[in-house]
Structure 1
Amino acid sequence: MSLEVVDAGMLALIQDTGRYGYQHIGVTTGGPMDEHAFLWANRLLNNELNAPQVEITFGKFSLLAHDDTWIAITGADLGARINDRAILPWQTHQVSRGDRIDFTAPVTGLRAYLAVSGGFRPALKLGSCATVTREGLGGLHGHGAKLARGDQLEFKPPEKVAKASVPQNEVPDYRQPLCLGVIPGYQYPHFSAVERMKFFSCDYEVSQNIDRMGYRLSGEAIHSDLSGIVSEGIAYGAIQVPSDGQPIVLMKDRQTIGGYPKIGCLSALDAGQLAQRGPGASVSFYLSDVADSEASRMLFNRRLQKGAAGISRN
Structure 2
Amino acid sequence: MVPLALTQGDPAGIGPEIALKAWNRRRETGTPAFVYVGDPAVLAARAAMMAIDVPIRSSTPEDASALFDESLPVMALPSAGAVSPGTPDPATGAGTIAAIEMAVQLTHEGRTRAVVTNPIAKSVLYSAGFAHPGHTEFLAALAERATGEAFRPVMMLSCSKLRVVPVTIHIPLKDVAEALTESLIVDTIRITHRDLIARFKLAAPRLAVAGLNPHAGEQGTIGREDEAIVRPAIARLRAEGIDAVGPLPADTMFHAAARARYDAAICMYHDQALIPVKTLGFEEGVNVTLGLPFVRTSPDHGTAFDIAAKGVADPRSLEEALQLADRLSRSPA
Specify the TM-score bucket, using the shorter chain as the normaliser: under 0.3
- Give the helix-richer structure, 1 or 2: 2
- Give the strand-richer structure, 1 or 2: 1
Q: TM-score, normalised by structure 2?
A: 0.26
Q: TM-score, normalised by structure 1?
A: 0.27
